[in-house]
Amino acid sequence: MKTLSFGLLGSLIIGLSVFSTVLQAEEQPIKISVLPSTDSSTYNLGSPLQQALARLYKETGTYLPSTSDEALSGFTPLEISRAMRDKNVTALSFVLLEQERISVFLFDKNHPLQFIVSSRNLTSGTQAAINSAMIETQFKSAFKEVLASHKEEKFQELPGAKAEKLADSSKRTKRDPRMAEESRVLFRELSSLTDSPLYIGAHLGMSRFGSEGTSSSTVTFALSGGYQIKPRISIEGGLSASTYLIGSVGGRYALPFKEESVKLSVGLDIASVLFSITQNYGYGSPNLTYNSPPLNRGTFFVGPGIFFDIPLLGATLRGDLRFYTGTGTIIVGTYGLIYYL
């Protein structure tokens, strides 16, 4: 019994030690390198902003900042990962100050091909001149938003038109000056490309209806709109017009695999027939060739779907395939464009 007690005590001590080690690992601050600020304005605040950004990160207690004299030579995954490896950090951050806007950028080692940016305007209709107090206020506001986005993992993709070049650059062993110059031009566009969580889309495809042993297909036009609740979770609604006008609402979940130029998602929708557009041809026609019973207004369907997104410059190419079942079956396949507002 005494031996058993000592054994239990030893196991308890080991368990507590492991638990303590795990807690300490979780409490380790994030190593972040604060790079030189890019100041394209006339304010000459590059160095003060870099020091101020490092101080703000340190004051959070969550980050372990260090400053660097070397700016990124290019905004590609290759250059970013090389900078993190050379500086032995897991994140990079810097400030972009323009004449009428200030932006804070953050890159994370665990989110390749993604970034966080928060921008604030320095001008307004009531402000005649820009002063240091306004710059400081807007700078801190942008920084707070970057912190919140990093904590919630609210990243956004680099513009998809560069996807192939970015993927190709990661395979090169030597720096490409032309690529670096193109990425510098791209960088200046990033602060104006911050995606909102709200998006709309237009689609074209086919719908196939089936019931009581009969089926037919018709061309489908669709409109959609959605809201991204979390980085991988969104809700979406839509209208599909074919033989019938069908409304749908559902959820989307982006599968957690390494995303480069394509994002794959799965979803579950509830759909309803709002009204009949035409019954002259196709499903629901009284034509004896089809002999298909029409779908009644208010008929509900439910079913899964699979979606793939390919980011383009300023928009996203969306393809989807959905299967609904209820009073019969509906298979909808479309492709189109998604635009973030």
Considering the domain architecture, whether residues 80 and 112 belong to the same structural domain is answered as yes
Considering the domain architecture, whether residues 90 and 236 belong to the same structural domain is answered as no
- Is residue 240, in this structure, part of any structural domain at all? yes
Is the per-residue pLDDT at 176 higher than 90? no
Name the region of 153 (left: φ>0; alpha: ψ -120 to 50; beta: rest): left
- Is residue 62, in this structure, part of any structural domain at all? yes
Considering the domain architecture, whether residues 205 and 326 belong to the same structural domain is answered as yes
Predicted confidence band at 168 (pLDDT cuts at 50, 70, 90)? low
Is the per-residue pLDDT at 181 higher than 90? no
CA distances (Å), origin 173, targets 146, 180, 188, 227: 32, 14, 25, 40
Is the per-residue pLDDT at 242 higher than 90? no
Domain tally for the chain? 2
Considering the domain architecture, whether residues 111 and 218 belong to the same structural domain is answered as no
3-class SS shares of the chain: helix, strand, coil, % to 5: 30, 40, 30
DSSP 277-336: S--SSSTT---TTT-PPPPPTT-EEEEEEEEEEEEETTEEEEEEEEEEEESEEEEEEEEE
Q: Could you tell me the CATH number of the domain that includes residue 266?
A: 2.40.160.20
Residue-wise pLDDT for 122-148, tens only, equals: 876 555 578 888 899 999 999 999 999
- Is residue 179, in this structure, part of any structural domain at all? yes
- Is residue 7, in this structure, part of any structural domain at all? no
Predicted confidence band at 15 (pLDDT cuts at 50, 70, 90)? low
Choice among 58-67, 201-210, 257-266 with the minimum mean pLDDT: 257-266
What does the block give as tokens for 146? 């970057």
Q: Residue 101's domain spans which residues?
A: 28-190
256 CB neighbour count, 10 Å cutoff = 8
- Is residue 132, in this structure, part of any structural domain at all? yes
Considering the domain architecture, whether residues 310 and 205 belong to the same structural domain is answered as yes
Considering the domain architecture, whether residues 256 and 279 belong to the same structural domain is answered as yes
Choose one of 158, 190, 222: the last residue of a domain: 190
Question: Which pLDDT score is estimated for 285?
Answer: 45
Choice among 38-47, 201-210, 329-338 with the minimum mean pLDDT: 38-47
Considering the domain architecture, whether residues 41 and 177 belong to the same structural domain is answered as yes
Identify any residues that bridge with 250 across adjacent strands, giving them in sequence order. 236, 269
Q: What is the mean pLDDT of residues 192-215?
A: 78
Name the region of 19 (left: φ>0; alpha: ψ -120 to 50; beta: rest): alpha
Q: What is the mean pLDDT of residues 17-21?
A: 48
Q: Could you tell me the CATH number of the domain that includes residue 80?
A: 3.40.50.10070
Beta strands (DSSP E) in the chain are 30-34, 38-39, 63-67, 91-97, 101-108, 114-121, 156-157, 198-211, 214-230, 233-241, 244-254, 263-276, 300-312, 315-326, 328-340
Considering the domain architecture, whether residues 138 and 44 belong to the same structural domain is answered as yes
Closest CA to 317 of 166, 157, 110: 157
Considering the domain architecture, whether residues 77 and 108 belong to the same structural domain is answered as yes
Question: Which pLDDT score is estimated for 172?
Answer: 47
What does the block give as tokens for 201? 């889309």
Q: Which of 33-42, 49-58, 93-102 has the highest mean pLDDT?
A: 49-58
Considering the domain architecture, whether residues 218 and 270 belong to the same structural domain is answered as yes
Considering the domain architecture, whether residues 109 and 207 belong to the same structural domain is answered as no
**What's the whole-model pTM score?**
0.47
Task: Please tell me the distance from the alpha carbon of residue 209 to that of residue 284, in angstroms, as a whole number.
Answer: 9
Closest CA to 113 of 202, 51, 190, 181: 190
- Is residue 127, in this structure, part of any structural domain at all? yes
Considering the domain architecture, whether residues 182 and 207 belong to the same structural domain is answered as no
Choose one of 137, 163, 190: the last residue of a domain: 190
Residue-wise pLDDT for 263-314, tens only, equals: 889 999 999 989 888 754 444 444 444 445 667 788 899 999 999 988 775 6
Q: Which of 5-9, 19-23, 42-46 has the highest mean pLDDT?
A: 42-46
Cβ 34 vs Cβ 50: under 8 Å: yes
- Is residue 18, in this structure, part of any structural domain at all? no
Task: Please tell me the distance from the alpha carbon of residue 331 to that of residue 323, in angstroms, as a whole number.
Answer: 5
Is the per-residue pLDDT at 320 higher than 60? yes
Task: Please tell me the distance from the alpha carbon of residue 182 to that of residue 248, in angstroms, as a whole number.
Answer: 42
Is the per-residue pLDDT at 203 higher than 50? yes
Question: Which pLDDT score is estimated for 246?
Answer: 92
Choose one of 159, 190, 221: the last residue of a domain: 190
Angle between helices 132-151 and 46-60 (to 10 degrees): 40
Residue-wise pLDDT for 38-88, tens only, equals: 888 888 888 999 999 999 999 999 999 999 998 887 677 777 888 898 899
Predicted confidence band at 31 (pLDDT cuts at 50, 70, 90)? very high
- Is residue 318, in this structure, part of any structural domain at all? yes
Choice among 17-26, 132-141, 327-336 with the minimum mean pLDDT: 17-26
> Average per-residue pLDDT in the chain?
78
